[in-house]
């Protein structure tokens, strides 16, 4: 491996905490990766990594060296991005992590259009509802709904999604249909909580110009968006979701909107990516493309 490839390898080992995962991410043999790092440590005269049976961690010298390597590689990416040919015809691997519902219903049904336009970009896509560590996991950008919590990332809002509160006819027959937000205290909701944080989300309505939270009792709580809707369809309680996700159920009468006179705050959906002074061409064209997609869907 040349010197630059070894620096890339070293940064990925630190970020992934594993020789094996880093070698796989860069498509090099595990033995080659081990030999390259040993040679680099010998050349520098310093131990950079602490190896255990479960994890690889940087030493104090290794952490300082890692920070400098990141800056060097970022400068190189900036220089490459400045080339007009690279910007006009970007190439390489673009690693995305997409919220499950948005992947399935908005982005992936249209992804062939992106591939037709940018034929030299290889897409590697993971999806789910969990929060990801972009730097550690080598993700270029993510699409997420809700208010972003990580202030270290660049956030570009894609859309504001109208939300509704709804329940199944069976639930409403048993508990009654609330006519005013004050009546929510007598109702149940399907609980929704974050898989990575102990955070539970209340129902929210705009009452007299003020966003008000309503924390209802829940007999069932989930951490998956699809299961959240399934539980509502099964009569487990009220849910609050973007309208586009449940519109077919509303049209068919499987779910019924309640409290329509008190609007729910719109839910933002954003694309997030690590900060670089110069955005890589691969990420730039995806951000521009996905922004156009959301403008067409929610505009």
pLDDT computed for residue 1 by the predictor: 79
Same domain membership, residue 50 and residue 188: no
Question: Do 114 and 250 belong to one domain?
Answer: no
Q: What is the CATH number of the domain that holds 17?
A: 1.10.10.10
Residues 167 and 247 in one domain: yes
Structure tokens at 102: 């948005």
Count the domains in the chain: 3
60's tokens: 């104090």
pLDDT of residue 195: 61
Whether residue 46 is found in the same domain as residue 188: no
If asked whether residues 274 and 154 sit together in one domain, one would say: yes
Degrees (nearest 5) of the Cα angle 229, 270, 124? 85
Q: Mind listing the pLDDT tens digit for each residue in 183-223?
A: 999 999 999 887 655 557 899 999 999 999 999 999 999 98
* pLDDT at res. 291: 96
How much is the pLDDT for 89? 78
Binned at pLDDT 50, 70 and 90, residue 132 comes out as low
Together in a domain, 257 and 275 = no
Please tell me which residue, 139 or 221, carries the higher pLDDT value. 221
- pLDDT the model gives residue 172: 97
Say whether both 33 and 167 belong to one domain: no
With CA atoms as reference, report the closest residue to 239 among 183, 195, 201, 206. Answer: 201
**78/203: higher pLDDT:** 203
Tell me the pLDDT tens digit for each residue of 33-49.
999 999 999 999 999 99
Tell me the angle at which helices 3-16 and 60-81 cross, rounded to the nearest 10 degrees: 120
From 19, 48, 81, give the residue that closes a domain: 81
Burial of 21 (0-12, 13-18, 19+ CB in 10 A): middle
CATH value at residue 214: 3.40.190.10
Q: Which of 79, 81, 98 is nearest to 90 (CA)?
A: 81
pLDDT band at 129 (very low <50, low <70, confident <90, very high): low
Judge if 255 and 285 occupy the same domain.
Answer: no
Instruction: Label residue 246 by pLDDT band (50, 70, 90).
Output: very high
Mean pLDDT of 162-181: 97
pLDDT for 75: 73
pLDDT level of residue 82 (50, 70, 90 thresholds): low
Q: Same domain, yes or no, for 120 and 72?
A: no
What's CA 71's distance to the chain center, in Å? 24
Can you give the pLDDT at residue 85?
A: 54
Closest to 19 in 3D by CA, of 42, 43, 48, 46: 48
- Boundaries of domain holding 185: 163-265
Structure confidence at residue 73 (pLDDT): 81
Do 272 and 261 fall within a single domain? no
Q: Name the domain boundary from 57, 81, 105.
A: 81
Per-residue confidence (pLDDT) for residue 266, from 0 to 100: 95
State whether 249 and 182 are in the same domain. Answer: yes
What is the C-alpha separation between 140 and 25, in angstroms, rounded?
A: 13
Domain identity same for 167 and 149: no
Which of 48, 81, 114 is the last residue in one of the domains? Answer: 81
């Amino acid at each position: 491996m040349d010197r630059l490839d070894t620096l890339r390898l070293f940064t990925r080992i630190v970020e992934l905490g594993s020789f094996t995962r880093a070698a796989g991410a860069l498509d090099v043999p595990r033995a080659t990766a081990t030999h390259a790092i040993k040679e680099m440590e010998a050349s520098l005269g310093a131990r950079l990594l602490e190896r255990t049976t479960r994890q690889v961690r940087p030493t104090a010298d290794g952490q300082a060296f890692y920070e400098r390597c990141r800056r060097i590689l970022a400068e190189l990416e900036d220089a490459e991005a400045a080339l007009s040919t690279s910007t006009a015809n970007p190439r390489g691997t673009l690693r995305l992590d997409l919220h499950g519902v948005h992947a399935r219903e908005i982005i992936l049904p249209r992804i062939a259009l992106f591939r037709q336009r940018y034929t030299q970009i290889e897409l590697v896509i993971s999806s789910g509802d969990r929060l990801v560590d972009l730097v550690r996991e080598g993700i270029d950008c993510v699409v997420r709904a809700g208010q972003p919590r990580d202030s270290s990332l660049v956030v570009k809002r894609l859309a504001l999604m109208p939300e509704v509160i709804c329940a199944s006819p069976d639930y409403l027959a048993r508990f009654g249909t609330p006519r005013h937000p004050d009546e929510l205290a007598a109702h149940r909701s399907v609980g929704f909580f974050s898989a990575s944080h102990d955070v539970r989300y209340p129902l929210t309505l705009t009452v007299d110009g003020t966003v008000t939270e309503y924390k209802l009792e829940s007999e069932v709580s989930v951490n998956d968006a699809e299961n959240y809707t399934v539980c509502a369809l099964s009569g487990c309680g009220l849910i609050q979701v973007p309208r586009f996700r449940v519109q077919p159920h509303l049209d068919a009468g499987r779910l019924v909107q309640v409290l329509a006179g008190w609007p729910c705050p719109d839910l933002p959906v954003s694309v997030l990516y690590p900060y670089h002074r110069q955005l890589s061409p691969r990420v730039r064209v995806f951000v521009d493309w996905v922004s156009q997609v959301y403008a067409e869907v929610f505009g």
